[in-house]
Every structure is written in C-alpha cells, then in structure tokens.
Amino acid sequence: MSLAHIDVWVFDLDNTLYPAPVLYDEIGERMTAYIARTLGVETDAALELRERYFHEYGATIVGLVRHHAIDAPDFLRDVHTADHSVLMIDPELRGLIEALPGRRIIHTNGGGGHAERVLASLGLADLFDTVFDIESAGLAPKPQRESYERLVQACGFDPRKAVLIEDSLRNLPPAHAMGFTTALIGADCPEPRPAYVDYWSRDLKHLLSDWIGVASPTQAP
C-alpha cells in the first residue's frame, strides 16, 4: 500500500510512543486511589469500577462522570500528576518522526496535561502540531467513532489522507471505516490479519523506518 497520499500522521500516545508500564502503573494506582477517596469505597471496589468503566466506555472517566458526577478535569489532572522523569529521550525515534512529511497529531484518551508532559519528557513536543486529548474530544474516548469525527473536525483534515498509529486493536475499526490508513503497534495481531489493520509491527521505529525508507540497524526485520 502506497503512503504517497498521506499528509497527516496521527499517533496514539501511551504504549505507542513509549512503553506504558514505566509510567502507567503509577497513573493506574492514582486512578484507583482517587475513586476510593472520592466515592468512599474500598480499594478493591474502586479498582473494579475503574476497570469496568474502562472496558464499557473506553475510558474510566466517562463512567465516573456518567454514574457518579465526578469532576472530569479534577480527576484527569490528579491521576496524571505522575513522575514523568522515568521517561527517556530516544534520539532515533525523534529522527524518524521528524522525517515524516506533513502534519503530526497526538490523539489520546489521556488528559489533564498528560500528553504535553509526556512529549516534553520524550523530547518530542516540538514535532507535533496538535494534541487532541479526551478533554478536546468532549469526553468522547476512542474507540467511539465520535472521538475520531471530532478529531477530524477540530484539526481540519481528510481522514483518507491520514494514518492512525495505535497500540490498541479495538481503536482501529471506526477509524478505518472513516478512511484512515491504520497501523497496529506492539500488540499481537490476529491471524488472518483483520481488514481494518493496514500495517502491523511490534516496533514503532522499525515501521517508521520502512515508511520513510531509512534502514534501522538496531531493529530486527
């Protein structure tokens, strides 16, 4: 498949630009603690709510707002106040992203300034034109189609000329249906590969190297 027509590169953030466990374990703990503290429930019950709402709505905060009237900005700001110093700058990744022609956008279900802090810590902030997070989407998280529609409307581009790069398989079908070229990173891909997955690679740098025609000597094919 040719990418000559692509002029917008839409990246997921967590577990796509960096391995999420180095930071997201702390964020998960902060989510559970916030729910327990705010709703007055035990840790186990808070964890159950956190996971149930994530799977049901695509983002925990959506369920918390809908069922418990939680203050979304306060929740997102609190839980994402994590130690971003654990993130490391990868000059090779920076060079590959910088070589992509056209606009570069972050599309994430995070909020509360999380994406901006991650990009700064990774040394990538200046490479992205826009951060479109769950607050920008009006609490419409991926994989809801509305999230992608609001992204396209807010950023003003044709999804048929855009690539979506994601680590979550379930986030790809609605984007593909809108015309996005899709790429799955890291996660196992079902066999046969679903029609809504145009590209798959276990490693983002290897995929980007292939796309821009730059050999990546540190990555196995």
The rounded distance, in Å, linking the Cα atoms of 38 and 51 is 16
pLDDT score for 220 = 36
> Which class is 8-18+88-212 in CATH?
alpha beta
The rounded distance, in Å, linking the Cα atoms of 88 and 35 is 30
In the predicted model, what is the mean pLDDT of residues 171-187? 96
pLDDT score for 91 = 97
pLDDT at 18 exceeding the cut of 80 = yes
Note the pTM of the prediction, 2 decimals.
Answer: 0.93
CATH 1.10.1510.10 fits 22-79, yes or no: no
Q: Is 61 exposed, middle or buried (0-12, 13-18, 19+ CB in 10 A)?
A: buried
What radius of gyration do the chain's Cα atoms show? 17
pLDDT score for 214 = 41
Q: Helix, strand or coil for residue 86?
A: helix
- Listed by start position, the domains of the chain span 8-18+88-212, 22-79
pLDDT score for 113 = 95
The beta strand positions in the chain, using DSSP E, are 8-11, 103-107, 130-132, 162-166, 181-185, 199-201
